[in-house]
Structure 1
């Protein structure tokens, strides 16, 4: 038996106990409401366990009935309600029950010390306000605190056993503390609600994106198969002039590149179907074909071949964009070296070419949107490349190449 098995078994037992004792009813769907219900059930369990323990140390009696033990039965019934779909009702009943506790204790305990009176006037109302902040709206919570404070003032004023002026200070203190609880929990609930709404929005957009991607990859994939099939058919059935063969080869290479891009998007979320090194090798071979014979060297260190690295499905698109830029400038005389190394858990990719390099006037903003080194274009290639690399927690930088011609890029990506 491995060392992890006992830990896993203990965790499983903990999960089962939590499921039995505090997990909300399946009828409650909202994540926020389920979280509040768990807290309510857990708190009620603590109250049910704690009140009999308090009874052992105090002599609170209502006639011959232990007062704390009597209230235990009430809170246990509320706990049972909290385990059903009526958790909100249980939360409101809990709030009202806690708010009634100071009236109950002050009514049956006729010989209380000033300290006991102050504790009853502060602790129970503040706890009630804390629970109320979870189950009442901000307006009803403010109304609840106001009514509770007014009721305590009136009650203590007419209760002959309690000196009103001595009770006034703790009542004011509990009102102030209750307002602090109201403001804090309202702010917290507001941000939790905002996060939940944002989460739902993102989940909806994610579902829409998955559907859109599926439709796009399916339709474009079918169209690109037709294009490639027609190009290959033309190559086999027609005599292409020698000066036009490069056009056909380039068109075929571009169609195959588009098919690869579509395939990349079709395996997003299925990393087991994705081989990073094989994808890079295929990309380099297609780039040679598209350029009419560019010299593209892919140098992979042995430790990378032996490691199961999965740096990101979209990362090859970054290198393909760099290759396309080089080929656009240099053509078939392009010389490109792509070196891959592994430093601890980071994949290091160095890209160098023999192109004209990057003009010094735009080097500092080469990765910005809209910046291009070409006479035409939207300037999105390097900008999107940077976005892709950074989405995997990596960086891409333009290196200084003073001793040789061309552009050089350094890409660092954590290995997943």
Structure 2
């Protein structure tokens, strides 16, 4: 008997599992498609989330306990960094108070981000796992059935690129910290002080661990949201191309499959809403603390810098300013792209030829239009407002106005 070689397993949007069917004489399907977005589209970013302690990929209890212990250690590290920064106020000079305040703000924002990610992954309070299941059982099969294109290879490359960029940024941050702690790059950055402890090899090593823990919390959840936003944007754009193609086939007449098209769009909007139930708190925390940090840093650079700050301190403040602004802008841009792509089908709907349209199709069309125009599909900050391109212009206006006021004082 010849030895049968197992088929190659390809990373794809779904996993193919062959299920034997009974020989009943008809052409019954003998292959069942099972989608798994966690192991394909989000594989690398969820690995980064696991390393940062913000995700538990292990469904088995014994491995879940190890992840829980790992998360507790990260929480202890963030709390220790926060406590060390607070106690440092009693030992530093007056000129370092502003820098220490920036570090404390960063510590608190990282702590809140970590707690919110724990809530997001909790089975009772979070919606992430249920959203993944809905994607695997509904969105993925519908995309395949309708023939909606999704460039999996391109998305996988973008996901890997983003993960590498995040890892590279954290590596640079740790390298910069090590150079300052060893005195090679000078001093003046209060984030690198081991105060209230003496600067010894052991305290420097602990400081590096604390900086790494907070560095992961400050960047990896934002990276995760950017990947999710990019995924949803591509799905909406694929749907828009499919809808435009359907509209152009028959002189812009309403497609026969308008009900299935509308149902898929509604399910895709439900995915956005379910993700937003968790992301709205992450986005609110990210925007509040980073905008506060950016405005405070700008105040220090323009109003407090009277020549007492050294070159390294000015470089550190400038780094904090651009980092806080960059995080808000990058995450907001990707969130705004989801909103734009979700409402793009209106451009195709308005050109529909309604001549000789039936009552049933007209009802489906009205339902489709009410979904497109009646509600804002997108991600919000604590449920207060949807992140759009206008939101980004508002944030830019706040910074420019604040800069102008400080500069004239």
The TM-score, its normalising length taken from structure 1, stands at 0.24
Higher strand share: 1
Structure showing greater relative contact order (alpha-carbon pairs closer than 8 Å, 6 or more residues apart):
2
Flag the structure with larger Rg: 1
TM-score (norm 2): 0.25
